[in-house]
Amino acid sequence: MAIKLTGGEIYDPAHQVDGQNKDLYIVDGKLQKSLTDNEKLDQTYDLSNCIVMAGAIDLHTHIGGGKVNIARTMMLEDAHSHPHPGSDILRSGNGRAVPSTFSSGYRYAEMGYTACFEPAVLPVNARQAHMELADTPMVDKGGYALLGNDDFLLNMIREGATQNAINDYVAWLLDATQCIGIKVVNAGGIHAFKYNQRRLDVDETGPAGSNPREIIATLSKAVHELGIAFPLHVHASNLGVPGNFASTLATMAAADGLPIHLTHIQFHSYGTEGDYKFSSAACEIAEAINNNKNVSADVGQIMFGQTITTSGDTMMQYFGHDHASPKKWTIMDIECEAGCGVIPFKYRDKSFVNALQWAIGLEIFLQVNDPWRVFLTTDHPNGAPFTSYPHLIKLLMDRSFRNDVFKIIHKGAQKASNLASMDREYSLYEIAIMTRAAPAKILGLSNHGHLGEGANANITVYRKQNDIEQMFAKPAYVFKNGTLIVKDGEIVETVQGVTHVVKPEFDRAIEKRLKKYFDDFQTISFNNFKISNDEMIECIGNEIETHPCGKI
């Protein structure tokens, strides 16, 4: 099957293509520069007056795993008030803040996304998470395994295990849980919470005998030495606490120059100035990102309205549980590996704190100079549902629209933020970087996020419109591996994506030690814990695509 896309304005930052007209050829799901003599063109799409980008990639969105399911069960009112009826080709579903699995896949595809990554796969829950992701159609998936609060790692660090042994454990875990990266949530903090500690600073020694700085340094070194493309994904300490920007800067420093990705950094950029003792430290954080080339971040922008916060960070979720709206919440430990906190939340534009959070997120977007190191996320569903991305893109691309919204938020927040003075407007090229090229590059997905020869034909075509939000909300065409899946914002065919994984090499000797640990302490046997490739494909239903490890 050969398809030609002609006449569109191409935005392909990986190949420095900035709005030039170029023809694209799709042959058997891959992109080609031109057709060979024996290939016959089957279909041509005239894309004049259209913008063409690679399929978008969301590198941080909670769409599968235990806590999302808890959120779905808890937010039945969300499910009830947002029904999505099925059709001849679509399965039914529901929900806006936490859509059901099928709905998540459909809504992402309708916005032109072709890959999504679940950032908190608890190793012991990995099977469940992959099962949910298998039920999320249309998009490619992947997960980051959660470490940094599990007894095995903390014991290793306390006992002074060698870096090689830790590397083996990390590699084994990635293999066993079928994940693509490692995430740390409040390093040591979730563990300390179980000992009734309510706060753990970066240089404070927790009950496990180690401090967050050591844990992050050890893990970022492990990820680097194993040659995993995606840097350590860090949810820093003290989320949501006024003055936490100092912890965030300390966390950046903990990586000691090695690559580190700080996630939902908006929640970690708060100062303590002003009448409310809550202020924006976006400037300090953005400056640190600008100055440290090893640091990347996704923003975790908030949007006003009802959502639900789901996090493994039981310590900080407990800190915020009083603000639950509607009033219901869950905090639980998961098998001594990490935790789970689910709290519904309503962000209000007339609340000083919420309004300033909104402004801080945008300030970070606008002050980080390099779009290759800042990613467009709302930390779905924590900041806002992912369906608000088109609105967020409009806020970034349209200064006057941004200032109009800024004028209606809490007056105190307006005074506390310098957002109105920021002139920067993101260009389509920069949006293409932060939603396509950069995530693919940082995740090590060589065939994704670009429109060069040999890339998977994941393509999103937007029809040019004055309203940027409308344009990004309803793409004219979306192709997934060469198949037309969305036309004019409506799904026309359903497909199943693959799961991206990495399988670094490791010394099998670690399994002996792990087996003893499992026999002594775990609720699941060592052999049952591991998810084999066969199980992943045949039982769970996720095709896997393994990406190479090694120095890049």
Binding site for other proteins (CB under 8 A): 73-77, 79-80, 85, 326-328
Residue by residue, DSSP assigns 16-57 as TEEEEE--EEEETTEEESS--TT----EEEE-TTEEEEEPEE
In the complex, minimum distance from the CB of residue 343 to other proteins, in angstroms, rounded to a whole number: 14
The answer to whether 55 and 436 have CB atoms below 8 angstroms apart is yes
* Cα–Cα distances in angstroms (integers) from residue 332 to residues 235, 274, 342, in the given order: 18, 35, 9
Is the CB of 194 or the CB of 323 nearer to other proteins? Answer: 323
How far is it, in rounded angstroms, from Cα 137 to Cα 118?
A: 14
CA distance 236 to 250: 9
Token pair listed for 143:
């997960």
Q: Which is nearer to other proteins, 94 or 388 (CB)?
A: 94
Instruction: Tell me how far CA of residue 421 lies from CA of 354, 359, 396, 402, in angstroms.
Output: 20, 12, 14, 11
Backbone angles phi, psi at 35, to 5 degrees: -90, 145
94 versus 435: smaller Cβ distance to other proteins:
94
Phi, psi (rounded to 5 degrees) for 407: -70, -20
Nearer Cβ to other proteins (327/512): 327
**What's the distance, CA 360 to chain centroid?**
19
Q: How far is the CB of 331 from other proteins (least distance, A)?
A: 18
By beta-carbon proximity to other proteins, the closer residue of 67 and 474 is 67
Q: Which is nearer to other proteins, 76 or 509 (CB)?
A: 76
**SS3 letters for 84-144?**
ECCCCCCCCEECCCCCCHHHHHHHHHHCCEEEEEEEEECHHHHHHHHHHHHCCCCCEEEEE
Cα separations in angstroms, 80 against 106, 136, 142, 365, 368: 18, 20, 29, 34, 40
With respect to other proteins, which residue has the nearer C-beta, 72 or 221? 72
Instruction: Please report how close the Cβ of residue 81 comes to other proteins at its closest, in angstroms.
Output: 9
* Tokens, residue 9: 């304005």
* Residue number, 27 or 342, with CB nearest to other proteins: 342
Specify the 3-state DSSP secondary structure of 204.
coil
CA dihedral 88, 92, 96, 99 (to 10 degrees): -120
Q: In sequence order, what are the residues at sequence separation of 6 or more whose Cβ sits closer than 8 angstroms to the Cβ of residue 440?
A: 14, 54, 57, 446, 448, 449, 450
CA-to-CA dists, residue 274 to 149, 281, 303, 412, 417, angstroms? 35, 12, 23, 10, 11
- Cβ distance to other proteins smaller for residue 84 or 530: 84
Q: Which is nearer to other proteins, 74 or 154 (CB)?
A: 74
How far is it, in rounded angstroms, from Cα 348 to Cα 7? 44
The span from the CA of 414 to the CA of 302, in Å, is 16
For residues 167 and 549, the answer to whether their CB atoms sit within 8 Å is no
Quick one: 329 or 375, whose CB is closer to other proteins? Answer: 329
